[in-house]
A and B are shown apart, each in its own frame.
Chain A
Amino acid sequence: MTLPNNPKDFVYNSIHKVTGKPVDSIQPNDLLTSLVTDSIQLFELILELENAFAIEPDYDELVKIQTVQQAVEFVEKIYVTQPTQ
């Protein structure tokens, strides 16, 4: 997947890729667990966020993310500190 230029687009597109939900239906306060159908999809979403970066982010930090907005903030932090693939 080609990374878009900003973390918000990346997160929203990742959610769309895994769940099929239209990007414009996703809200910042949505819980990630409410957007996926099951734990397998949640794991796929975690992998999408994890695999985008040159250095794997800490899994323990990734799984603390609960909402879409938290995912965006997490990716923003990583974008600042390391290059992406």
Chain B
Amino acid sequence: MNTSGTRFSPLRRLYLVAIFAFLYIPILVLIVNSFNASKSRTVWTGFTLDWYRRLFSNETIITSLINTLAVALIASVVATILGTMAAIGLHNMKRITRSLVINLTYMPILNPEIITGVSLMLLFVSLNISFGYLTLILSHISFCVPYVILNVLPKLRQTDRSLYEAALDLGCTPMKAFTKVIIPEIMPGILTGFLMSFTYSIDDFVISYFTYGPTSQTLSITIFSMTRRKVSPEVNALSAIIFLVVLSVLLIMNLREINAEKKTRMAVSAAIRNESKSHKHEHAADSNGGGE
């Protein structure tokens, strides 16, 4: 067990504090400014919630928020279905074809976003598809699918083939054995892939920038046009809200993870204690090995 955290020298602590100050001070300034009555970014003239009120009555922002969520939902659902099917198919392919396809799948992740965006733009221009929801959703699906495949494939590799065969022996049809055995096994991978797709889609700017149409503005695109104007305090208010949302999502996820880890750790140590009590000599070494 790692206990060196208690021996942290002040210098090391100071270093971490400095790094986190660097990461958070700019965000903090935005949040403070969102309550500033003055339009100026550096003169404090009093507390106000006016910018928030304006933000919620700003139709462009509300529409683009709805667009963002709709595009993210559609794109990640389609990407999850497409990617899961692809992963299952790839898992059962010959090794050479599989590694070829996987390498091609990596392309959109390895390529700079601007290249992916530009290449998709060229595709839509060549096919004469006008830019709008369709091009935006197709592009988002394209950059989301790889994340689903790369999360589901390892889970498929971990599944035990004999479980599936056992289900067949016990009278399941292949379809039933598949839905009852394989799907539950790979579900965590599918979920992670879906969540990654959803968050990447919400956060994306560069690819959307090259593939959106005048009617399909996402939040990122709206923020872009807002930051181009010199002063727009609504952006500050929006930042504060986004920060709060992200913070709460991450906190919930982390607390759950830490709790789960604590529980397993307690269970393991309880098991070790019980084991060593009942078979003091024979099994002590074994259970210690399991507890590490």
Mutual binders A and B: no
